[in-house]
Amino acid sequence: MQLSKEDVLKRANLACKNTLMETLSIEVVDYGADFLVARMPVNNKVHQPDGVLHGGATAALAESVGSFASHIFIDTETYFVRGLEITANHLKSIKEGFVYAKATFLHKGRTTQLLDIRVTDQDDNLISICKLSTISLPKK
């Protein structure tokens, strides 16, 4: 059964209840055939002490959107997906507004996946570039 875009987004956001994603107010906002987008507000909950977006919050956003992408595009009836490694290069600071993370696959293998995650601000300025590797393991 093929789910509508609205159903996929609703299911993804319902899965965020009582998790780190809810704590950081991360919301899945768009997806297509080969990408997934989530956003996170930049406010005092995700600031460093000097008032800019914390790199750890950015990494949490990137891992969240990348993991969701793997869950959506991998057969999760048969497999479960776990993150293996994440890297983040922070290029620009931001104090307020929203950041958007767009995850696309660089490699979508049966066992391992590699995702490119671009984090941008509301004006599409590049804030961080992240890479996430995931693994699909058979459910027992």
Active-site amino acid positions: 63
Tokens 């209840």 sit at which residue? 17
Q: What is the 3-state secondary structure (H, E, C) of 86-97?
A: EEEEECCCCCCE
How many other β-carbons are positioned within 10 Å of the β-carbon of residue 83? 16
Nearest to 47 by CA among 106, 95, 115, 104: 95
| Beta bridge pairs of residue 28 | 38
